[in-house]
Structure 1
Amino acid sequence: MQTKELLTSSYDFHLPDELIATHPASPRDHAKLLVYDRATDTITHTYFYDLEKFIPKDCALIFNDTKVIKARLYGQKQSGGKIELLINRALNANDVHVYIRGRVKIDQEIFFEQNLKAVVKELYEDGTRVVNFFQDNHLLRFEELLPILDTIGHIPLPPYIQREDNEEDAKEYQSVFAKIEGAVAAPTASLHFTPEQHQRVSENYKHAYVTLHVGSGTFKPVETDVITEHPMHSEFYEISPKAKALLDSKQKILSVGTTSTRTVEFYARHKDQTSGEANLFLHPNNKPLRVNHLLTNFHLPKSTLIMLVASFVGLEKTLELYEEAIRDKYRFYSYGDAMLVL
């Protein structure tokens, strides 16, 4: 018999539709902030612009500097049938792992603006595909594809934001310190920082950047009955020399977001690897080893992300905090409000 913490059904909760944020707070730092202090078991309700009042003086911050690419493309088959393609990640210089809405077969060509073409190379059983991209019949490396995506692609808003992307999203679904292109989902706790607040925090606290290119697998719900049987997705990560030095020290760490947390904790378990593929699944039976404090948003039921929160505070407390947030009309998910776990 499995303990409650390992049952996927234990991580379910009811969220009223009106609490799913479809647009960001404006200004960014006017999002609500729920602060939970584990030492005193107390909850404080405040706003993100007051974050610095709560960050412990003796800790360093780890940010994820990944940059969201315009990963959604609309095109057509040779027959004229419409196709939607969502890039998930580059597998190597030329092969790109994608989702395609519409039926395709091996060697099929899909046509986009600017003489861009995708050729289907592999079909996977989970419904994903591998394609190569060409422009004017020149096989593109992934870094050559990125500037083309920037002109004809669309910001890949999460599936629960049920609207088309717009010009606002191109700016708002990106952290102010985004730098390294490659993510198809934003590290959402980072979205609350204005340039001014990020500068203040950077001047007043030790900090460093890691890169984790967030994949669309981050939205995939856990479908197994027991969470430990879930096949965790992997994502490319890289740890800067400055971040490595911080993580190798005794410095207390506040991780900005679940993506930074997964990166730091993967490194804590594989200290010889400063880049590669991270597939770490944090949950109450696999607790953090290196991260002391967590800044995060409010996540989907039965997701690996709510289970990650439970790895810090336990299942019961996680559900209690979420119920409190729902009662107080916090906004949930990518464009929603934030929580700081001390």
Structure 2
Amino acid sequence: MNLLEKASKINLKKYHYNLSEDRIAKFPLEKRDHSQLLIYEKGNIKHQHFYDINSFLPENSSLIFNNTKVIPARIHFQKQSGAKIEIFLLSPIKPTPEVAQAMLVKKKCVWHCMIGNRKRWKTTDTLERFFESDYGKIKVTASYADYEQNQIQFEWDNDAVPFVEIVEMMGSTPLPPYMNRSATDEDKPRYQTVYSKNEGAVAAPTAGLHFTEDLLNDIQEKHSIHELTLHVGAGTFQPIKTENVLEHDMHCEQIQIEKSTIEFLAKADNPIIAVGTTSIRSLESAYWFGVQLINNETDSFHIKKLYPYELGYENLPNKKDSFQAILKFLNENNLDTLHGDTEIFIFPGYKFQVVDGLITNFHQPESTLMLLIASFIGDDWQKVYEQALKNDYRFLSYGDSSLLLP
């Protein structure tokens, strides 16, 4: 039985645990690094606080951070009738699907969105809002570019203002649905890592929420820090509803990795610690793109959800060779940044090619991220989560953290 045949028989109920509402962290702690930290190392578990993490990282580790920046993706309009419409930005379509470029577009753009109270917004209706800003009064309109596909066209009457500033003026923090509350002023800085840079995520890379500037400085005295960007999409919260997990519609997310990070990965011998599941998905996806380049399969960085399993794990290049192939690709094309996207679906049976350790929060039962954790530490995920529940850890985005060292 090959890997995909085995995966098709995965019993999702095996990756269930009882997560009661009172265990979900609805608000952040007063101090970011005072969260609890569960350390799992080769089957052993200990409990610390996140501000202690520096002492428990493997010697001379390299931490890879996702520096995406959450945009206030929930945008509200009110019709003259009084009906309130919520537009949740998902991904840009026109004039560019590239998130970084789309945030800088002026005058007009089209995004794929989720629509709240959609039945009250007719296809012919145009929504309007007005703002006082440093640029003067701005009028913003929203209309359907494609009703069936939930594609929304935004227009604004000041060609000096990029879309990112329109969103900052209009939007609110896109808290996950399981928090079941409206965003507050406190959420704007707290649902954001202190090292966030590149706007485009609609959900935070929550493993990074525990770091402070002081803690990062302390870590750099003993370890190295590198960055990449994966713009986290709302699909990260999409539950698995299919009996065969392989049929789950895996979300696609955009990745950017600077050439300097690729150069480091092409020669690294020290332990690689991914800060968050988004970083681990980015690093593993980049490895598979290097494999594709070596095999002359493509020159487009797009990793389909089942590519590693379809290719198999026989005669694979090592990590250094894969990243050297990417470095050669960047040099030949005079590129300073690797741009691509990934649908990679990591579940038990996957063999990690790049990452040695993972810093991550505690995830929803029976989710794609729960399967990723199970693939990383095997059945010991049950022991980890039992210990977290027993010791009153807080769960999900604003919850506590873990350091997993298989």
The two structures share one fold, judged by TM-score above 0.5:
yes
Secondary structure at 1:10 match in 2: helix
Corresponding position of 1:258: 277
Contact 1:113 1:152 in 2 (8 A): no
Q: Aligned pair 1:131/2:194, yes or no?
A: no
2:91 to 89, 92, 111: 89
Q: Aligned pair 1:9/2:8, yes or no?
A: no
Deviates more, 1:175-184 or 1:54-63: 54-63
Quick one: distance in 2 between partners of 1:3 and 1:218? Answer: 20
Deviates more, 1:227-236 or 1:5-14: 5-14
Q: Aligned pair 1:221/2:239, yes or no?
A: yes
Corresponding position of 2:355: 291
- Equivalences for residues 172-321 of structure 1 within 5 A: 172-251=190-269, 252-271=271-290, 273=301, 274-314=338-378, 316-321=379-384
Deviation at 1:106, TM superposition (A): 4.2
Deviates more, 1:254-263 or 1:305-314: 305-314
RMSD: 2.0
Deviation at 1:79, TM superposition (A): 4.3
Contact 1:78 1:109 in 2 (8 A): no
Corresponding position of 2:134: none
Quick one: distance in 2 between partners of 1:255 and 1:5? Answer: 29
Contact 1:310 1:318 in 2 (8 A): yes
Deviation at 1:239, TM superposition (A): 0.5
Corresponding position of 2:401: 338
1:146 to 156, 161, 164: 164
- Equivalences for residues 15-26 of structure 1 within 5 A: 15-26=19-30
Quick one: distance in 1 between partners of 2:146 and 2:152? Answer: 7
Quick one: distance in 2 between partners of 1:249 and 1:108? Answer: 56
Deviates more, 1:1-10 or 1:150-159: 1-10
Corresponding position of 1:117: 141
Amino acid at match of 1:317: D
Give 5+ residue unaligned stretches, structure 2: 97-101, 103-108, 132-138, 294-300, 302-337
Deviates more, 1:330-339 or 1:263-272: 263-272
Deviation at 1:77, TM superposition (A): 3.6
1:251-306: CA deviation from partner (whole Å, max 9, x where unpaired): 32100000111110100100254211111111112232111100000001111111
Quick one: distance in 2 between partners of 1:36 and 1:77? Answer: 52
Deviation at 1:215, TM superposition (A): 0.7
Contact 2:8 2:246 in 1 (8 A): no
Give the TM-score of the pair, scaled to structure 1: 0.92
Contact 1:214 1:259 in 2 (8 A): yes
Which has the higher Rg, Structure 1 or Structure 2? 2
Amino acid at match of 2:55: K
Quick one: distance in 2 between partners of 1:302 and 1:122? Answer: 33
Deviation at 1:229, TM superposition (A): 1.7
Contact 2:89 2:111 in 1 (8 A): yes
Contact 1:62 1:243 in 2 (8 A): no
Q: Give the share of equivalent positions with the same residue, in percent.
A: 38
1:322 to 385, 392, 396: 385
Contact 1:282 1:288 in 2 (8 A): no
Quick one: distance in 2 between partners of 1:222 and 1:240? Answer: 33
Over 3 Å counting, the alpha-carbon distance change for 1:107 and 1:28 in structure 2 is same
Amino acid at match of 2:246: T
Quick one: distance in 2 between partners of 1:228 and 1:10? Answer: 16
Over 3 Å counting, the alpha-carbon distance change for 1:247 and 1:106 in structure 2 is farther
1:170-219: CA deviation from partner (whole Å, max 9, x where unpaired): 11100000000000100000000011001222343122110000011111
- Equivalences for residues 93-104 of structure 1 within 5 A: 93=102, 94-102=109-117, 103=119, 104=121
Amino acid at match of 1:30: H
Amino acid at match of 2:386: E
Over 3 Å counting, the alpha-carbon distance change for 1:122 and 1:212 in structure 2 is same
1:305-326: CA deviation from partner (whole Å, max 9, x where unpaired): 1111111011x21122111111
- Number of aligned residue pairs: 333
Amino acid at match of 1:22: K
1:142-166: CA deviation from partner (whole Å, max 9, x where unpaired): x822112212210001101122111
Secondary structure at 1:95 match in 2: strand
Over 3 Å counting, the alpha-carbon distance change for 1:58 and 1:204 in structure 2 is closer
Amino acid at match of 1:266: S
Amino acid at match of 2:129: F
Over 3 Å counting, the alpha-carbon distance change for 1:99 and 1:4 in structure 2 is closer
Give 5+ residue unaligned stretches, structure 1: none
Quick one: distance in 2 between partners of 1:296 and 1:214? Answer: 15
Amino acid at match of 2:39: V
